């Protein structure tokens, strides 16, 4: 989903799942490797993404790419180092695996634009400039050991900055008391 809008991600994912389903059974990696290259191109995957996914599929099949069960036993930095050893997998992708795949609670992807945008909104409103990666890292120190939870809120603010202006139940109750 990196650098794509939500509807585009859903469309590509649906087409990829259909292509994988059309080649029979087996692990997702095995099925990916059986899909014809022209079919993968038609799914909407760039050449670089197809090459990266193909490399990951080969690594999964050979056992070089550790299974999620194995990754769950590893420290965050060890997971990042392992995953970043594969073509097309950078720190951001590895952090998303930690956050969404492994459910780790203390992950803060400081290079993520949505998080930097969310912090900017939190600090200065919808028109504010996005925070820098360093500013996000500094703010994130206060959120340990739940930086993943803070990330979820920052992403929401980046998507819907008007949430800052939405009255909460507490402010609605105070308004009612003041009006009476």
Contact 157, 163 (CB under 8 A): yes
Tell me which of 38, 76, 111, 112 is the catalytic residue: 112
Contact 123, 164 (CB under 8 A): no
Three-state secondary-structure class, residue 134 = helix
In a 10 Å sphere around its CB, with 0-12 CB exposed, 13-18 middle and 19+ buried, how is residue 118 labelled?
A: buried
What are the CA-CA distances from residue 13 to residues 8, 19, 60, 70, 74 (Å)?
Answer: 8, 10, 20, 25, 28
Query: Is-catalytic flag, 111?
Result: no
What are the CA-CA distances from residue 91 to residues 3, 111, 138 (Å)?
Answer: 15, 9, 18
Catalytic sites, residue numbers? 112
């Amino acid at each position: 989903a990196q650098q794509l809008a939500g509807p585009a991600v859903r469309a590509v994912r649906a087409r990829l799942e259909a292509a994988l389903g059309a080649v029979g059974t087996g692990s997702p990696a095995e099925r990916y490797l059986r899909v014809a290259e022209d079919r993968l191109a038609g799914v909407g995957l760039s050449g670089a993404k197809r090459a990266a996914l193909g490399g990951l599929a080969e690594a999964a099949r050979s056992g070089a790419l550790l299974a999620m069960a194995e990754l769950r036993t590893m420290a965050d930095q060890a997971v990042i180092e392992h995953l970043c050893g594969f073509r097309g997998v950078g720190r951001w992708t590895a952090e998303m695996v930690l956050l969404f795949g492994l459910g780790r609670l203390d992950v803060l992807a400081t290079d993520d634009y949505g998080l930097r945008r969310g912090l900017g909104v939190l600090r200065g409103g919808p028109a504010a400039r996005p925070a820098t990666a360093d500013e996000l890292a500094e703010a994130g120190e206060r959120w340990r050991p739940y930086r993943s939870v803070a990330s979820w809120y920052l992403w929401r603010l980046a998507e819907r900055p008007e949430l800052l202006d939405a009255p909460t139940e507490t402010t609605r109750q105070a308004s009612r008391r003041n009006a009476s």
